[in-house]
Amino acid sequence: MRICLVSHGFPPLERTGVENYTAALAAELAARGHTVEVFAPRVRAELPQLSLRREERDGYGVNWITTNVPPRDPEEALEVPGVAGRFGDFLDRERPQVVHFQHLVKLGIGLVDQARRRDIATVYTAHDYYAVCHRYTLLRPDLSRCEIVGDSMLCARCDLALGHLNGKEGLGDYQMGVLPEQLDEGEGDALRELLDEGEPEALGHSLDELDAVFDRRQELDGRRAQAYGALDRILAPTRFLASQLVRGGIDPDKVQVLPYGIDTSHVAGVPPVAPRADAPLRFGFLSGLSKHKGVHVLIEAFRRLREPAELAIWGYSSDEPYVERMRAAAAEAGAVWRGGFDRDELAGCLAETDVVVVPSIWVENQPIVIREAFAAGRPVIAPRLGALPESVNDGVDGLLYEPDDADALAAALARCVREEGLVAKLAAGIQPVHEVAGQCDELEPVYAEVGAERRLPRDDGLPASVRAFAERYDELRTLPTRTLYERALQGLEKLRAGFGGEPGGTSVEDLLRRALKSGSRVQTRLRDQRREADWMKETLDFEQQEVTWMRTVVADHEAAIRALEEERDWLRSVVQGKEQEVAWLSSELDKVRGEVLRAAGVGEQVGMHLKNTAELGLAALQAQEHVLGEEVRPLLEILERVTRENGETPPDAPRRRASDDPALLESLVQDVREGARRLMELENELAWRRSEMQGALVQSNRRLAKIFLARTGLGSRINRWRIEDARRAGEASE
């Protein structure tokens, strides 16, 4: 039978449970005469994304697909872009009769559809809960166990919680979940409230946000359910896992419980557990150091253990914060930290261990390490959790304890130390491990059955002559391309012979030479591709030149911008200077104004004073004149009378009045004239000063207007430069 095994990893690159199981299956099936092809992803930086490379192993082929580009979002993780199409090419080439999927993570659910489209039967072994839980483990981000399977709203709450944890530093592998001590005070409660159908606000998220996450999760869950629903058979190694799959919506008619059969050759030869005189009992942890494996529970239990015992911890994880925490806790508890181990070293690890502890906190399926421990005759202590009770028979081949309970585990450890003969009794209770050969005995009928279900007969309504041809056509289409090719070459050779040397006795070599000379499609395609590659290279070169040119342009622009900025700064300083100048001029103007005003005031005051003085003078003169007139009049009258009496002509009355004191009068007149002249001078000075002031004002206003214009011009230039800067910056970034 032609069988394809699909796994998310494969030895030697990946060597954990599922990968080793798949490799053992491939080797055993191939040894039984089946044609086995393995399809698995790997990261190879030197190969193009999605390239396919085949390598021969012990009787089977491994087809590696290069997946260098990690998924960018949950959608891409669910359906890894391009992988399904390449799987389709692989299926066409190999045409397996059955595809046995071990895991679809890293490859995507689209692979199932590719097999279906080709009417190839499909079997899937559920090694975890991925078919119904996008987190594989049914563990929530706070490391509590999900009790309700397949509820998209609860799954959305997990998504939202993970989104929250994603924003925090130093959590390590937060995807698996976080320990309470890794969270801030109150944060753990808020996380649990969100997961327990509470309000998302406690963690700073809105209901709208939760609704959006729910819509997305529902869509993704729908697609996953559709893919898993299209499988022909789903194998579950344990009854518990099978029940969870059915709870999650998988068709129970498709689910079949089939416990693992594993290759135990690598742990053969481990000496049986034997009492060591005066030496403490040795407990061992041999697993991945991811949080769900629960080593923290074991370390805590060992810390509480009062009985003399040893604990060795073997394992590796990339979750460094957790590992560091555990390493420190182990040291404090007195456990020995042994670090990572290779599968080939497992026998040695088990030889140093009397009892294997599997302290998982998730609902384990059927850990291979338990099978391996049993194969080496080591009893196992495990929690009463998930499918573990299906693997460990309490008191017969191991002990079970209440999950998550360090005290309960410590008690189980203590029993092993205290109860004499208990470990030996448990070791004696171990049943032979189901081997890979037995597994293949079970799988072969499954493959045959699903294969037969897929080979549906042609419609009975077809005329016999047509049906016979159609059925033969169908049969040939199920053959691998390689087989079709080889058969065609054989058939052509026979045909050539059948022509009885008619084609001029031409040899195959000649025919091939001739065939390829006249132009094969593949040759043409290769030439076209080479031409296209050349063209693309030219385009790339040209674009690189463009980029170089653009860089110089950008550099030029940047220099221009810098120059403009310098000019702008200079202009700013000029404007600042001008503004200072304007301010100075304004203050100067104010001063001038003040002076002018003061001068005008003084002038006016002086003028007024002079005028007043002059007027007062005039008034005084008039008053004096009047007084003199009054005084002179009687004297004149006397004089007239005297004159008359003396026969003399009396002088003119005014002459007499003016000549009363001609010198004084003359002096007064001079004074008045002087006052008037002075007044005139002062008025002239005032007028001059006014005109000066006017002139200064006009000049100041003109300068102000000029400064204003200069400022406006500079402002608009600066704006223009800014706009230009922005435009150039935009061009440069494009």
Partner 1 sequence: MTRPVSIVLPALGDTELFEANLPSLLEDLERRALGDEVIVVDDTGEDVLAAWLAERFPAVRTVAHEVNRGFALALRSGVEAARHDLVFSMNTDVRVRAGFLDPLVACLDDGDVFAVAPRVLLNGDPEKIESVTSLRVRDGLAELHQAALGSEPGRSALEPSPIAFAVGGTCLFRRDEFLACGGFDPMYAPFYWEDIDLCWAAWRAGKRTLYQPASVVEHHHRGTIGKLIGDDVVRAAIEKNRLLFQWKHLDGDERLAEHAAALYRLTLDAWLGDQRDELVWLNLALEQADEALKARASLPEAKAGFDEILRRSSPGKP
Site residues for partner 1 per CB under 8 A: 89, 92-93, 458-459, 461-470, 472-473, 476-477, 481, 484-485, 487-489, 491-492, 494-496, 498-499, 502-504, 506, 508, 511-512, 514-516, 518-522, 525
The residue among 431 and 518 lying less far from partner 1, judged by its C-beta, is 518
The residue among 482 and 727 lying less far from partner 1, judged by its C-beta, is 482
The residue among 418 and 525 lying less far from partner 1, judged by its C-beta, is 525
Q: How far is the CB of 7 from partner 1 (least distance, A)?
A: 24
Contact 217, 183 (CB under 8 A): no
The residue among 512 and 619 lying less far from partner 1, judged by its C-beta, is 512
Compute CA distances 284 → 306, 314, 364, 382, whole Å: 17, 8, 18, 12
Neighbouring residues of 498: CB distance < 8 A, sequence distance ≥ 6: none
Q: How far is the CB of 390 from partner 1 (least distance, A)?
A: 45
Classify strands 233-236 and 255-257 as parallel, antiparallel or unpaired.
parallel
Q: How far is the CB of 98 from partner 1 (least distance, A)?
A: 19
The residue among 437 and 512 lying less far from partner 1, judged by its C-beta, is 512
The residue among 115 and 270 lying less far from partner 1, judged by its C-beta, is 115
The residue among 63 and 287 lying less far from partner 1, judged by its C-beta, is 63
Classify strands 380-383 and 355-357 as parallel, antiparallel or unpaired.
parallel
Neighbouring residues of 682: CB distance < 8 A, sequence distance ≥ 6: 603, 606, 607, 610
Compute CA distances 674 → 375, 407, 606, 665, 668, whole Å: 143, 128, 15, 14, 10
Classify strands 309-314 and 281-286 as parallel, antiparallel or unpaired.
parallel
Query: Could you count the other beta carbons within 10 Å of the beta carbon of residue 653?
Result: 15
Q: How far is the CB of 22 from partner 1 (least distance, A)?
A: 26
Q: How far is the CB of 512 from partner 1 (least distance, A)?
A: 5
The strand pairing partners of 63, in sequence order, are 39, 54
Could you give the residue ranges of the DSSP H alpha helices within 207-291? 207-229, 239-247
Query: Could you count the other beta carbons within 10 Å of the beta carbon of residue 286?
Result: 23
Q: How far is the CB of 501 from partner 1 (least distance, A)?
A: 9
How far apart CA 499 and CA 509 sit, in angstroms, is 17
Q: How far is the CB of 498 from partner 1 (least distance, A)?
A: 4
H-run or E-run covering 39: strand 35-42
Sign of CA dihedral 243, 249, 255, 261: negative
How far apart CA 72 and CA 80 sit, in angstroms, is 10
Query: Could you count the other beta carbons within 10 Å of the beta carbon of residue 219?
Result: 14
SS3 69: coil
Q: How far is the CB of 383 from partner 1 (least distance, A)?
A: 51
Contact 697, 590 (CB under 8 A): no
Q: How far is the CB of 90 from partner 1 (least distance, A)?
A: 10
Neighbouring residues of 429: CB distance < 8 A, sequence distance ≥ 6: 379, 393, 396, 397
Q: How far is the CB of 509 from partner 1 (least distance, A)?
A: 10
Q: How far is the CB of 123 from partner 1 (least distance, A)?
A: 24
Neighbouring residues of 345: CB distance < 8 A, sequence distance ≥ 6: none
The residue among 51 and 218 lying less far from partner 1, judged by its C-beta, is 51
Q: How far is the CB of 110 from partner 1 (least distance, A)?
A: 19
The residue among 499 and 542 lying less far from partner 1, judged by its C-beta, is 499
The residue among 343 and 458 lying less far from partner 1, judged by its C-beta, is 458
Q: What is the DSSP string of 102-133?
A: S--TTT-THHHHHHHHTT-EEEEE-SSSTTT-
Angle between the N-to-C axes of helices 521-646 and 662-733, in degrees from 0 to 180, rounded to the nearest 10: 180
How far apart CA 112 and CA 87 sit, in angstroms, is 10
H-run or E-run covering 356: strand 355-357
The residue among 94 and 142 lying less far from partner 1, judged by its C-beta, is 94
Could you give the residue ranges of the DSSP H alpha helices within 422-520? 422-428, 436-454, 464-477, 481-498, 508-517
The residue among 45 and 464 lying less far from partner 1, judged by its C-beta, is 464
Q: How far is the CB of 502 from partner 1 (least distance, A)?
A: 5
The residue among 351 and 462 lying less far from partner 1, judged by its C-beta, is 462
